[in-house]
Amino acid sequence: MTKVRLAVITALLTSVWSAAAVAQTAQPAPTFVTGSDTHDFQIRCQQNGKLTMGIFNRNNTSDYQVARYISYIQLGNGKYGLDFMRGFTSATEHEVYFPANDESCEVTQR
């Protein structure tokens, strides 16, 4: 009887510990930018007033003019990533961008 009880208690403790570990490491789901699946968007990231990354109309043949399917990925401790598709006239290239802690990014519909 004691062996059975010990086995059950061990199994319960292992189960609770595993669930707690998963809960602590689980990241929130990405936040989708509403409308970025049907409209063109632009992204401008700045650090100390200087453009560090940009997807916007450049009046040339750059593949960094159109952004679509944009999601924010929360990484914790105030950090995040931007997951999006980009391109010249249509968004066909996948990209993920991780801004620095002191860098800000603005996402707007074109």
What pLDDT digit, counting tens, does each position of 37-53 carry? 999 999 999 999 999 99
**Residue 11 resides in a domain:** no
pLDDT reported for residue 44:
97
Whether 12 shows a pLDDT value over 50: the answer reads no
Tell whether the torsion through CA atoms of 30, 35, 37 and 43 is positive or negative.
negative
Task: Look at residues 99, 3, 2, 11 and name the one whose alpha carbon lies nearest to residue 51.
Answer: 99
Residue 93 structural domain: 29-109
pLDDT reported for residue 25:
61
**How many folded domains does the chain comprise?**
1
**Residue 9 resides in a domain:** no
